[in-house]
Structures are given as structure tokens and as C-alpha cells.
A and B are shown apart, each in its own frame.
Chain A
Amino acid sequence: MSAVAKLVSVGDTPRPVYELTGVSRFFNDGKVVALDGVSLTLPKGEFHSVIGSSGCGKTTLLKIMAGLMPPSRGSVMLGGTPVLGPRDDIGMMFQHATLFPWRTTAENILLPIEVRHGRKAARAERGRAERLLQLVGLGGFEDAFPSELSGGMAQRAAICRMLISDPQVLLLDEPFSALDEITRDFMNLELQRVCMEREASAFLITHSISEAVILSDVVHVMSSRPGRVVQSVRIDLPRPRTLEMTSLPEFGAYATTIRNLLDKGAFL
């Protein structure tokens, strides 16, 4: 129940992890406005998603938050310091697992450690990699090569790689959209479990309304051209969320609200 209490309270909002103010991004000498004045706050331990049609600037927003791309205007603060480049306290995941076929699963997971602290440190952390693999149900696959993993297994390994450096905040760009629906539902619940266990904050990009509602404390609905946050919808459903909740009337109401916002955004 503490999770629910955390959601509804307005007076004592948790410490913000991310604070974006007036973030804009232009491409092609200002001819393409990918993002226009996006402001949002991600408090500690919360799960937020961004939903919007493709090409509305979601990936651009995530890259800016991750420090992979500078904004044209505005500021991005993470844990009280400005984001001026990639940082170790951010964990990222993309649509494709991006495991390297010449590394075993364990070596892939330890890649961030190897890059930051060297081969020796990576070898020392092997036990942790094995425990993470166990956590996502891939125990025993340490020495398997990615070609031996299915799409869902590969994405689970990618989750482990993201978690190996104990990030404060997870940035997820449509991480499961390449998977079939059954696997995706399962992976989403895994993701929720991982976030709750570590009290990590998460920021998920998706174009699935039900995925956004089932996972999030807040859903930011984006419009395209220019990319703007039309509205941020708070989802007051208890945690942990389950797939059965999709049949609740509240769930349907949230989904309808978001769908209407999306439709309006698309024709503005």
C-alpha cells in the first residue's frame, strides 16, 4: 500500500530525479522542430511514460535526457546537476537488444563495467552478472552466445546490462516493441518488478496505450510537429500492477482519456 500512498500524495512529492524545463530541439537549421518547450519532472521512484505517434520526438527527448544529444534550448537536470553528456547513473535500453555476437551473454552484460573500469573489474563482477541473469530467468545462459537466445531472452539480457551499473534512473526507448504481445506483457511486469525492487525511477517511451497505463504513475501524452507534451495524466492504480487490471473500468477510462488526447494532438 505504500506504493499507492506515494502516488496520490500531492503535498509531499518525492525528490525530483529529472527536471526538464523548456527543452527544445531543432534539426536542419531550425526547419524541423522536433521538440518544443518540453517541461516535465520525474520524481524519485516513479515510473513515467511518454506516448505519442511515431516521429513526434520521443527518441529525441530520451537522447537529450540521456546526454547523448544536447538540447537546442532549455535545461535538463538530473539529481540536481545539469546533464552535459552521458552519465553512469543513467541506464538505457533501446528497441533492439543490441547484444554483440562476439561476446557471450555474461560478457555482454559486463560490457559497461569493462568499458568504465577495465577487464579486471569486469571479471570481478561476474558473480553479479550471473545473479542478474538468474533474476530475469536466464540462469545458466552466462556463456551462451546471443545467437542462441530468442528475442525475448536477448531483451532480458539487455535489461541485465542496463542494471549492472546500478543506475538511479532507467531510460527505455520502446524496449519491447519488437517482441510479440505475450512476451511483451510478461517483460513489462518484469520491468515493474525490477523498478520496484530497486526503487529506481523509470522513463519509458511507448506507443502502446495499454502498456503506458499498466506500467506508469504518470503518462505524458505528446503531440507531433512540433513535439510537445499535451498533457500529463496521473494513473491512480495500486501497485504492483497486474494484467487483470486491464479489465478494470478505471483502466478503460484512462485509456480513453489518453486516446482522446492523442487524437487531438494528431490533428492539431
Chain B
Amino acid sequence: MGAYMLKRLISNVLLVAIAASMAYFLAATSLNPRAKYEGRQPPVAEAVVDGVLDDYNLNDKTPVFERYVTWVSGVVTGDLGKTWEGKEVNGEMGRRIGVSLRLLLIGTIVGSGIGVAVGAYAAVRQYTISDRVIGVTSFVIMAIPVFVIATMLTIGAVGLNNALGFTLLEYTGEYTPGLSGGWEQFTSRLNHLILPTISLCLGQIAFYSRIQRNMMLDVLGQDFVRTARAKGLSRRKALFKHALRTALIPAATYFAFAFGTLLTGAIFTEKIFGWHGMGAWLVDSIQQNDTNAVAAVSLFAAVCVLVAGLLSDLAVAALDPRVRVN
């Protein structure tokens, strides 16, 4: 197991390195940080711009490979460089990762938990009204892109707030600035979490519920469920004890995939609800031609994808005795 993990770690580090380097090259050759300084009034002298850009390792007059070497030598010591305005990428990233992880964690837990429960319920009640309602709803939800869901949620919140005459549901930012008490802070943060969580989770719930339902129905026809009933278990008990548990295994293999869609979903959610997380940064940094920030976001995304893959494998190993090694 140790040797395996080591091999996997090495290959993952390699993948991350290559992915981040490719993203860096792409960003460094396609984006133009100089544009940020050129259009200014009064005009800034070219030599000054060069100087500033050199400081930030963003000067397009330096050969790209040289810039890359500078960037890499920073990265290996843990320094991800500077943003186009000269801020430390590290500091910015630290703040933003916290924001994003909060959303992603809640999205994963709530999405998979509720999704699996709903799917299992639908499978047990196959062909009843509730199964059909769940099925149709999840189909519709899966057809709505996150940005449409998020936009609709904001419209809804605005409408509700207007109708009530006070702000019941918050829909911008992570908290209301200027609140004093710890408790007020806390409830405000919770309130701000509601809509983004819904926007992020709905798709996940729909996805997991479909998977879990289908997997359970697959398992349902298998011999061991019949054996369980031949022992004298009722259909319901056989389903819960034997089918549900076994059907969790394939659902866990989908975790990595679902997490990928969650990451993309987070971009929109953060952007639309005004959260300053990694997803929003990705969009902003491209629009602002911020090469080093783009590279940093790529690094983060690559690590996330690999960690999700690893978690998925670990979950499968935990659930399935057949793949464990003793």
C-alpha cells in the first residue's frame, strides 16, 4: 500500500506540475498585462511600465521561457508570484481558498447526502407517484445550468425581499460588513450562505439521486437480494440492509466526476452571488490579464481534481471489501 501510494503521489505531482506549466505558458503568451497600464491617462512612460512589469515578472518583452523559469523557481519555494497590481498571489489565494472550500465542502456534503437519500427513497418506491415526481424534478434540475439557477434564485430573493419590505434573504457577498456582535455576524454569514448553497447543491442532489436510484435498481435484481429475502427478510429490509449498502459503491466511484461539475458550478455561484473565492478569481484574472493569478488558479484546480479522484478511490475502498488489500 505504501509503495502504491508513493507511486501515485509521484505521478500526481507530475500531472499537477505539467498542468500548471501548460496553463502558465498559455496565460503568459495569450494574456496581456501591459494593456492595464497602456490605456491610462495620463499615459505612463513605456520604461516605467516595463519596470513595473519586470518587478511582477509579467513583462512580455522578457522571453516567455525566462519568465517561466522565474515563476517556477518561485513556486517551488512556495511563492506563486505577484498579481498584475503587485499584490502577493499567496495572500490573495489563501483568503480565497477559504471562501471556496467552505462552499465546496457544504456543496459536497449536502449534495451527496441528500442526493443519495432521495435516490434510495425513489428506488424503494419505484413506479409510485413520489418516484416519478423525484425523477422528473431531477431531470429538470439537471437541464438547468447553474448560472440560470443562480440568476433565478437572485430574482426570487429580490422579489421576496421587496414583497416583505425587508431583507429576508441575502444574495450578495459572504456577510454584511459593519456588523458588531459575534452572534449577528454568525447569523448574517449563515444567511448569506443559503442561496449559494442551494444553487450549488441542487444539481448535485439531482445527479446523485439519479445515480443512486439506478444503481439500487440494478442491485435489486441481483441474486443476493433474493437470498436475503429467502432468509426471511421483508423486501424493505432486504433493500435497506443489502441493496442500499452495495449500491453506494458505484455511487462513490462517481464522486470524482460530480466534484468536477461542482468546481465549475462554484465559478458561477461565486460570481453571481458576489463571493470572492477561487472561482470568481478565475474569471476576474482572465478578464484582467493577470497571468500569475491564472496560473495559481490552475494549480489549485488541478490539485482539487486529483484530491477528488483520490477521495473517490478511498471511499470505494472503504465501502467495498473486494478492493481492499490487507
Partners in one complex: no
Which residues of B pack against A, CB within 8 Å? none
